[in-house]
Amino acid sequence: MNFATWSIQNPIPPILLFMLLTLAGLYGFNKFTIQDLPDIEFPEIEVSLSLPGAVPSQLETEVARKVEDSIAGVSGVRHISTSITEGSVLISVTFVLEKAVSDALIETKDAVERIRSDLPADLESPIVSAARISNDSLMTYAVSSSSLNEEALSWFVDDTLGKIFMSVNGVGRFSRVGGVSREIRIEVDPVKLASLNVTAADVSEAVRRVQLESSGGRINIGQAEQSVRTIATAALASDLNALPVALPDGRYLRLDQAANISDTYAERTEAALLNGRESVAFRIYGSKGANEVKIAEDAALIIERLKQEYPDLTITPVVNSVTYTLEQYEGSMRMLYEGAVLAVIVVGFFLRDWRATIISASALPLSIIPTFGIMYWLGYSLNTLSLLALAVVVGILIDDAIVEVENIVRHKRMGKSTLAATKDAVNEIALAVISTTMTIVVVFLPTALMGGVTGLFFKQFGWTIVISVLMSLMVARLLTPLMAAYFLKNDSHYRHEEDGFIMRKYLDAVRWCLIHKKKTLFMAAAFFGVSLFLAAQLPAGFVPSSDQGYTNLSIELPPGSTLEDTLATTETVRKSLLKVKGIENIFAVAGSAEEGGVGDLRKGSMILTFLPKDKRPPQGVIDAEIRKILPEIPGAKFTLKNDGPGEDFSILLSGGSMGALTDTAASLEKELRGIKTLSNVNSTISLQRPEINIRPDFARAAELGITTEDIADTVRIATSGDFDPYLSKLNLDNRQIYIRVRMAEDELQDIDTIAGLRIPSRAGQTALSGIAEISIGNGPSQIDRYDRRRYVTVSADLDGMSLGQALEQAMALPSIANMPSGVKLIETGDAEFMNEIFSGFSTAMLTGVLCVFCVLVLLFKDFFQPVTILSALPLSFGGSIIALLIMDGEVNLPALIGIIMLMGIVTKNSILLVEYTIVGMKERGMERCEAVIDACHKRVRPIVMTTVAMIAGMAPIAIGMGGDKFRQPMAVAVIGGLITSTVLSLLIVPVVFTYINAAEGWFARRIRNINISPEESERG
């Protein structure tokens, strides 16, 4: 007794089992987290070091190299990437995937701490943290107010809105964009300071010593313990005017005698504009594993509540990436429903029996819903890849039920009772059903078990398919026989149906192929050869470009540009883009290259949000129009890209010699401009930034008792104020405000002001120009390092070109082919990920074929016939290639997934033919050709039914319903491959079977002859 017949005789246990599985699935579905991509935890550690005012070259020598060398000794380090800008070093350390994040964090902290004493004393405390928060924000909002000024609005965003949104479950970080921070400014007058024989550093140190609040120990009074606290802080900025400041020589003065005190805001380093109007914005980031849709829903409720509580506030959504995630989710579910309905309609058309159709159709929900429960139990989410997996299998899940129901109906037409027909049919088809299911399982199992970053992303994809297919097998072996036995109409009378015209023509074609075997195989080989030729004509890509409803534009001005210059350029760009149809809002940030990037006054970014899809052209058309306008704007570099994968074309060159590295990068940049399909070609060759160099006269300084540190402190404090940790603070009820001593902005417009700064010495004070040479020089504005070597990135906008094509053309350029020995090409970013995915999928495909062969050998207990079954695989590729060429597609990730899927489906069709042929020969005693023709006659119907059902399930995706560009290449590849492989395998597999069967017979005879001894031969 097998499971199928057991379930017929014992209906209650399987019914109860699937009731529980269905309830678990519904519970899991309601609890699912909805995300764009699976939640991946990379062992990545970030080290942030800050030394305000230090130039990149100084930071590279004194900080970056030392920290990198120390971190390199940590076990499991894969790559070290460093970005150095003025005053800041950001080091990103990537570990091998096997490294636990907690271990990586602890060991990296220890590595930094070991060399802390070797780093500059003024360096702020290093911040070492694990990257547990998504680098991309979920939502960005712009805020304006009719009653609050910019500083008050900025604090409202920081304090009130920050606390509200950080309390939302799943929010990992909240950050303000633009705006200003309140600050007490003490602007010293250099003339008054000189007359009083005082420096700005003296004033800053005196204010810090006076304006403070400090603990003073404990005392016991009246048999009770009291703490002692020294309080010497001003309550208002105006109170600082009369503050007596003690000077080093014993004198003192009122602060307002040497400075102007104002309650203002800190130097602006970033500005945000929405449609040309100054604004304050904020970004919301999700934590790892957060439900993005739930965060967006909670945020929307909070925004509505804030509008009611603060009617003077205007909160405008700038960009919401969750909208795209939700569109993908809703589109996937809609495609799932439509594909299922179409598949059921196809089954009903072929079976023409509403009872049989219901039995077959029930396999879909009974397979998918329990799968949701197991996915939830495994901690999976509903994301692009898990939903893609369900879209892949929607046509497969019904296959086993179709095959069984069709076989049951055929047996009923032989005159058997429903119960007898069901038992005979399910037993007859058992091996075929189990074989087809297990082949699909082992085809996708290697995908689920892939290693590396690819494996992390596609783990949920592979396991979702494996689980759902195994659930469909359970349905086919437990519920389908049970439902057929008790639900199908018991009309047990013999019905002979004459073959139709199509069936007769098909059988005639099979007979012709069996007669002309060599011609048939030659034509099959020719088709495969043409397929390989056509495959070489297809471009290679990563993933199709997506329409996310917005695009990002990065702006870079020459070094030395001010924030006002960047603002002016962003405004010029905005006005130029007003004529582009489809753009709704333009959000610009000056002083930041891009979201999450290191701040730089000469860099800016713009988010261009589009109108709804039904009111504008496609995003590709809008992007093309923008690219036409950007070259008309002088004095800036531009980079236009989406947030999706496959949009980043960049080449990294690394080398020890900056001269060779710069020359190679410049040549490559020039050659890339010659590729017409690339636009906005840029490089990070660090343009020289202007700087004022002060070179002390050591002999003269030593005579006066002046150290280099004295000079540096005096200049730094006079021009930008002391380091933040050393500043005194004004204490308010809910925050502290920095009190900064420095010179006024209008005093810093002339180099003579710097030359005239007074430096304390043994002889009183000395002008800076008397002990140092002051000149205007230059230095790198930014230094990028990769694995402890400098590197340069050359990037470009693809402008509709596939990533694979762009890389292929770039690799053929002379500057790459003839690189100097000291320059190395680094594969990183989308290019590295694309190659890793293609390599992983190629290995998975080969492993899948081997696993399919092993499974078939075990199930058929035969090494020969699995070769017959696998002979249909090459026939599927040609159809996929032709379909992709017709649709002007490319070989990309979704197309590869479709080809892997075809491997399982095509094998399934061959199994149905070969298995029944073997049954005919062994159990019915038929001749080989007779058994082949009988198998074709009996099995063509379920093969065609399952194929058409699969095509119907994929059709909505293939024709682009819902604008789903990501899944479309997969559906096109599957449908094209299904059409050709089904037609050809129904003709080629019978021919291959005859050859393989004949070879098996010859081999068996040879083995028997070898085993017969000479004596036995003589007696014979």
Kindly state whether residues 696 and 568 are assigned to the same domain: no
Q: Distances from the Cα of 689 to the Cαs of 360, 560, 594, 783, in angstroms?
A: 71, 6, 20, 12
Kindly state whether residues 526 and 563 are assigned to the same domain: no
The CATH number given to whatever domain includes residue 700 is 3.30.2090.10
pLDDT for the residue 51: 85
Kindly state whether residues 855 and 763 are assigned to the same domain: no
In the chain, the number of structural domains is: 4
Kindly state whether residues 188 and 250 are assigned to the same domain: yes
Q: Which residue has the tokens 């606290």?
A: 229
CA distance 728 to 742: 13
Kindly state whether residues 20 and 81 are assigned to the same domain: no
Three-state SS at 776: strand
CA distance 774 to 768: 9
- Nearest Cα neighbor of 280 from 159, 170, 172, 166 is 159
- Nearest Cα neighbor of 484 from 434, 426, 415, 430 is 426
Kindly state whether residues 358 and 480 are assigned to the same domain: yes
pLDDT for the residue 467: 92
Which amino acid would we find at residue 1009?
N
**φ, ψ of residue 173 in degrees (nearest 5):** -160, 150
Which amino acid would we find at residue 364?
L
CA distance 488 to 493: 14
CA distance 936 to 917: 8
CA distance 7 to 486: 11
CA distance 795 to 681: 6
CA distance 577 to 626: 7
Per the CB < 8 A criterion, the answer to whether 624 and 799 are in contact is yes
Q: Is 535 exposed, middle or buried (0-12, 13-18, 19+ CB in 10 A)?
A: middle
**Do the bridges between strand 736-743 and strand 182-188 make them parallel or antiparallel, or are there none, so unpaired?**
parallel
Averages of pLDDT over each 10 residues, the chain, 1020 residues? 79 91 92 81 86 84 92 90 87 87 91 91 86 75 90 91 91 89 87 81 82 76 79 77 75 82 86 90 85 89 92 90 82 76 78 80 87 91 84 75 79 80 82 82 85 79 90 87 81 60 86 89 88 82 77 86 90 91 91 59 89 85 87 85 68 80 84 80 75 85 84 84 80 83 83 83 81 82 85 78 76 82 76 76 84 83 84 82 84 83 81 83 83 85 82 78 72 87 85 86 77 52
Kindly state whether residues 17 and 65 are assigned to the same domain: no
DSSP string, 672-705: HTTSTT-EEEEE---PEEEEEEEEE-HHHHHHTT
Does a structural domain hold residue 223? yes
Does a structural domain hold residue 664? no
Taking the CA of residue 940 as centre, how many other CA atoms within 13 Å lie in the half-sphere pointing to its CB?
Answer: 22
**φ, ψ of residue 323 in degrees (nearest 5):** -60, -45
pLDDT for the residue 1020: 46
**Do the bridges between strand 764-767 and strand 783-786 make them parallel or antiparallel, or are there none, so unpaired?**
unpaired
CA distance 59 to 65: 9
Given 734, 764, 780, which residue is the final one in a domain? 780
pLDDT for the residue 1014: 53
pLDDT for the residue 478: 87
Per the CB < 8 A criterion, the answer to whether 184 and 240 are in contact is yes
CA distance 679 to 677: 7
Kindly state whether residues 871 and 733 are assigned to the same domain: no
Kindly state whether residues 945 and 913 are assigned to the same domain: yes
Kindly state whether residues 637 and 699 are assigned to the same domain: no
Measured from the Cβ of residue 762, the count of other Cβ atoms closer than 10 Å reads 9
Does a structural domain hold residue 627? yes
Q: Which residues pair with 587 in a beta bridge?
A: 274, 607
pLDDT for the residue 447: 84
Taking the CA of residue 279 as centre, how many other CA atoms within 13 Å lie in the half-sphere pointing to its CB?
Answer: 23
The CATH number given to whatever domain includes residue 583 is 3.30.70.1430
Per the CB < 8 A criterion, the answer to whether 646 and 542 are in contact is yes
Does a structural domain hold residue 720? yes
Given 130, 145, 172, which residue is the final one in a domain? 130
Kindly state whether residues 995 and 858 are assigned to the same domain: yes
Does a structural domain hold residue 666? no
Which amino acid would we find at residue 307?
K
Compute the 3-state secondary structure of the chain and give helix, strand, coil in percent, each to the nearest 5.
Answer: 55, 20, 25
Q: Which residues pair with 694 in a beta bridge?
A: 774
CA distance 158 to 284: 12
Given 609, 625, 642, which residue is the final one in a domain? 642
DSSP string, 316-381: EEEEEHHHHHHHHHHHHHHHHHHHHHHHHHHHHHHH--HHHHHHHHTHHHHHHHHHHHHHHHTT--
- Nearest Cα neighbor of 726 from 89, 212, 112, 258 is 212
CA distance 203 to 722: 11
CA distance 88 to 56: 8
Rounded to the nearest 10°, the torsion over CA 338, 343, 344, 345 is 90
DSSP string, 742-761: EE-GGGGS-HHHHHT-EEEE
Q: Under 8 Å CB-to-CB from 407, ≥6 apart: which residues?
A: 425, 426, 428, 429, 942
Whether the predicted model's global pTM rises above the 0.85 cut: no
The CATH number given to whatever domain includes residue 481 is 1.20.1640.10
Does a structural domain hold residue 170? no
Does a structural domain hold residue 142? no
CA distance 382 to 36: 8
Q: Under 8 Å CB-to-CB from 344, ≥6 apart: which residues?
A: 357, 360, 361, 364, 398
Q: Which two tokens stand for residue 888?
A: 């002007």
Measured from the Cβ of residue 214, the count of other Cβ atoms closer than 10 Å reads 9
Kindly state whether residues 378 and 480 are assigned to the same domain: yes
CA distance 380 to 774: 63
pLDDT for the residue 647: 64
Measured from the Cβ of residue 741, the count of other Cβ atoms closer than 10 Å reads 28
Does a structural domain hold residue 294? no
Domain that holds residue 565: 550-642
